[in-house]
Structure 1
Amino acid sequence: MKKHRTQSEWLALIDEFEQSGLTQTEFCAQRGLNAKYFSLRRMKLKAQPEPTGFTQAVVNKPQAIDQVTLHYGAVTVKLPASNAQTIAQLVKALAA
């Protein structure tokens, strides 16, 4: 009886064959596979590019920040973003 195999099942069979050390004829005979069909499936699947697992990323330019807003409890402080030293001093003071 013919068995329908998924692409992942065929890939697993092909990997198993490549690890077995058997000839293709021996491997197919042991598993009841048609050697010519196995060869055809192997050739077609190996010809397909393997997915890399990567996807294209789109990087947006960061927008200029002209002001930093700090929330501490009920207090909100807005400072110019260009004054990094003042912001650092304020954060240290709040952390103390």
Structure 2
Amino acid sequence: MSKLTYNFGFALGVVAREFLRAMKKSNIRPADQPQAKSHVQLPPPCISDSMVRDMDHLPAMVRAKGVDLNLWYNANTRVVEKPARKPRSRGKAQQLTPAVC
């Protein structure tokens, strides 16, 4: 195959691809832009700001059950002690025996 034939086939393929793409592409009308909704006024919260701040700083477990976190931590956690490492002993060096003649 010569270079001229290759380039001709390549150009013909490009033209065919562009023609098919143009035929498949239909005139699609642009989608309607969604309209921004007006902001709805939310009612004020049922609880005061100071109560919200207190609830933010205290976990639910403390608020609901009155749990002392220090006691809970001591009861539900334990210290993990690492086992002492054994010192590595060196293996005995193999003694070379004199060659027997």
Q: Which of the five TM-score ranges fits, normalised by the shorter chain?
A: under 0.3
Report which of the two structures shows the higher radius of gyration computed on alpha carbons.
Answer: 2
More strand by share: 1
More helix by share: 1
Higher RCO (CA 8 Å, separation ≥ 6 residues): 1
